[in-house]
Amino acid sequence: MTRFAGHLSGLAYSIVQGSGIGPTTYDISASDLHPQDHENRIVIFADDTYMYLLVGSTKRHTISTQLDHITEWAKQTNAAKTSEMIISKRGKEPPPPLYGIKRVKSMVILGITITDDLRASNHDDSVIASCSQSMYALRVLKAHGLPAAALHTVTRATTIARLLYASPAWWGLTTDKDRDRLDKLYTRIKRMDCLPDNAPTLPSLVGQADERLFRSIELNSSHVLRDLLPPKAKRPYKLRPRAHDYVLPLKTLSRASYTSSR
């Protein structure tokens, strides 16, 4: 309840963000939100109930039923914040738009810009713009006499962290031109003496991030991505050491539909 200008609002039940019981309360509250078809997937983030509904192109007819289920759960609709993005094979005609749902060519998913052509150019644009802005602050710190070691630490904690944020999710979608742009930005940072001369190259840092993510998934049986690992290969003979023993999944060309609702 809220009091303002002598008026008292009605009683409303909500999850207090930042509270100790907030995550548990949210899990209980959202436990009824589940796919209406076994081939669909729902990914829910406990940030203003930001939800992504992942539906294959052959199951698009189930989206309306799924949204009705969500509406019944929430007791209200918000079509203005619901959008659909179709990812299909080049040259294929996309299916007609869903009634009342806006179709978009890109979505920002947890800070990563994903486009319908599965390219990372738009995301690279936002990363380069953000890092370029933070580089001004680094110049100011350097001009005010911040020691080199401290400047390197600040650079890694801010600009480099922003540059590499979730890199395992988008680096594989970049083109040679995109990687060249990112590498030029990284080179500028080193020329400003914001990083030591022996700092690893950008591709090396990305590779390290991939390795850390993969090892954390492999070693933690409770990792949220653990279920995505393929089964391990059974080999009756001893082969040369490999990076992993998992079976590589087959490449598919099936279309997918991503619907976000907030």
What are the pLDDT digits (tens) for 70-129?
767 665 555 666 777 887 777 777 777 766 677 888 888 888 998 988 889 999 999 999
Please tell me the predicted confidence (pLDDT) of residue 13: 57
Categorize the per-residue pLDDT at 247 as very low, low, confident or very high, splitting at 50, 70 and 90. Answer: confident
Please tell me the predicted confidence (pLDDT) of residue 19: 65
CA distances from 107 to 30, 110, 114 (A): 23, 10, 5
Flag whether the pTM goes above 0.85. no
Residue 29 half-sphere exposure toward CB, CA atoms < 13 A:
16
| Average pLDDT estimate for 197-219 | 93
How many Å from the N-terminal Cα to the C-terminal Cα in the chain? 24
Please tell me the predicted confidence (pLDDT) of residue 157: 95
Please tell me the predicted confidence (pLDDT) of residue 159: 95
Q: What are phi and psi of 52, to 5 degrees?
A: -120, 130
What are the pLDDT digits (tens) for 12-67?
656 566 666 767 776 776 777 777 777 777 777 655 556 667 777 777 778 778 77
198, pLDDT greater than 50: yes
What integer best gives the mean pLDDT of the chain?
81
CB 98 within 8 A of CB 64: yes
1 or 33: which carries more pLDDT confidence?
A: 33
217, pLDDT greater than 50: yes
Please tell me the predicted confidence (pLDDT) of residue 255: 47
196 or 40: which carries more pLDDT confidence?
A: 196
Q: Note every long-range contact of 149-153, with CB atoms under 8 Å and residues 24 or more positions apart, other chains counting.
A: 151/193, 151/194, 152/194, 152/195, 152/196
Please tell me the predicted confidence (pLDDT) of residue 138: 94
Beta bridge partners of 5: none
